Amino acid sequence: MAGVTDATHVQSVPGELCYVAPGSALPVRFVTPATTVKTAVYRQYQVPIHNGRPIQDQFTLDRNGFAIIEHRSAVRDFTDPGEVDRIYAGEIADLVKSCTGADRAAPLGWVLRESRAPDELASRRGTAVRPQAVLVHDDFSVSGARETVAAAYASRFPDGPGYQRALFASLWRVFSPPPQDWPLALCDYTSVGPGDGLDCPMYFVDKVPDDLHAEMPPGIISTSGVEFRYNPAHRWWYFPGMTREEILFFKFDDTDHSVAWRTAHSAFRDQTVQATQPRRSIEFRTIAYFE
């Protein structure tokens, strides 16, 4: 694996990122209709977050785990679910195939986020708007990603020949004007140690169990992501002043582990800018299949 992308001659801003604290219990989440309970303890760390703009063409999916790409969408209103489903899903599938060379792409769905306190967010046209994600994480663990990838292929391409490789990714776009008060920070894959990530099971339950560490009974709906321990070697990047004609393309999981195969990421508060509007973004989860 090549060395970490050189940040010697680029500027950085200070950012606070939330990691799993040393000595914490393993992260597990219980999600009910009313609340979310976590078993882990977290700690804020101030880290330099480097401006990737001067060298943005150097970042690649298979080296760093992420890339920034230009893309003009025909969508006029990203808060309109019908327009996003009708136009954007197909655009994203075509973009993923053209960027990766994949044979097929399966758009899985999308999430709107806005940088406000959760209780300030209202539902927009039937789609819940979520707050910025402020924990260093990857949305899917290896096991969670592989289950999702296999199920999506069987559902979307039942007559397909099968796949040799699957790349599970997010395509993240800002549609509020720059600058962003809460940009997205991405951790260079080449700076992350093999033991930094902790699998985080998430259980969807009607009631939080009395014993948070007891084995869950079969049949409980669940998924699994990854949360991260702090490592001073982590090299963080962001791309200030993003516009709606740009996308951050980053990996959740890649079945090919000879290349960068996942990306730790988190939003952070950029104290160096005075944004006139909260950051509004749309992220689209997509799987690229190589047959």
Residue by residue, what is the 3-state secondary structure of 43-99?
EEEEEEEEECHHHHHHCCHHHHCEEEEECCCCCCCCCCHHHHHHHHHHHHHHHHHHH
261 within domain boundaries: yes
Q: Where residue 4 falls among pLDDT bands split at 50, 70, 90?
A: low
Quote the CA–CA distance of 207 and 33 in Å, as a whole number: 9
Domain containing residue 261: 27-290
pLDDT value of residue 123: 43
Please state the rounded mean pLDDT for residues 9-19: 93
203 within domain boundaries: yes
Checking if the pLDDT of 90 tops 50, the result is yes
> 111 vs 221, which has greater pLDDT?
111
22 within domain boundaries: no
* β-bridge pairing 29-31 and 36-38: antiparallel
Checking if the pLDDT of 221 tops 90, the result is no
Read off the pLDDT of residues 21-30 as tens digits, 9 standing for 90 and up. 999 999 998 8
pTM over cut 0.85: yes
Quote the CA–CA distance of 193 and 191 in Å, as a whole number: 7
240 within domain boundaries: yes
Quote the CA–CA distance of 35 and 41 in Å, as a whole number: 17
89 within domain boundaries: yes
Q: Where residue 1 falls among pLDDT bands split at 50, 70, 90?
A: very low
Locus of tokens 């699998």: 199
> How many domains does the structure of the chain reveal?
1
Q: Which CATH number characterizes residue 238's domain?
A: 2.60.120
Count of alpha carbons within 13 angstroms of residue 92, beta-carbon side? 27
Read off the pLDDT of residues 240-282 as tens digits, 9 standing for 90 and up. 999 999 999 999 999 999 999 999 999 999 999 998 899 999 9
12 within domain boundaries: no
Read off the pLDDT of residues 164-188 as tens digits, 9 standing for 90 and up. 999 999 999 999 999 999 999 999 9
81 within domain boundaries: yes
Count of alpha carbons within 13 angstroms of residue 168, beta-carbon side? 25
99 within domain boundaries: yes
Q: Where residue 98 falls among pLDDT bands split at 50, 70, 90?
A: very high
Q: Where residue 162 falls among pLDDT bands split at 50, 70, 90?
A: very high
pLDDT value of residue 164: 98
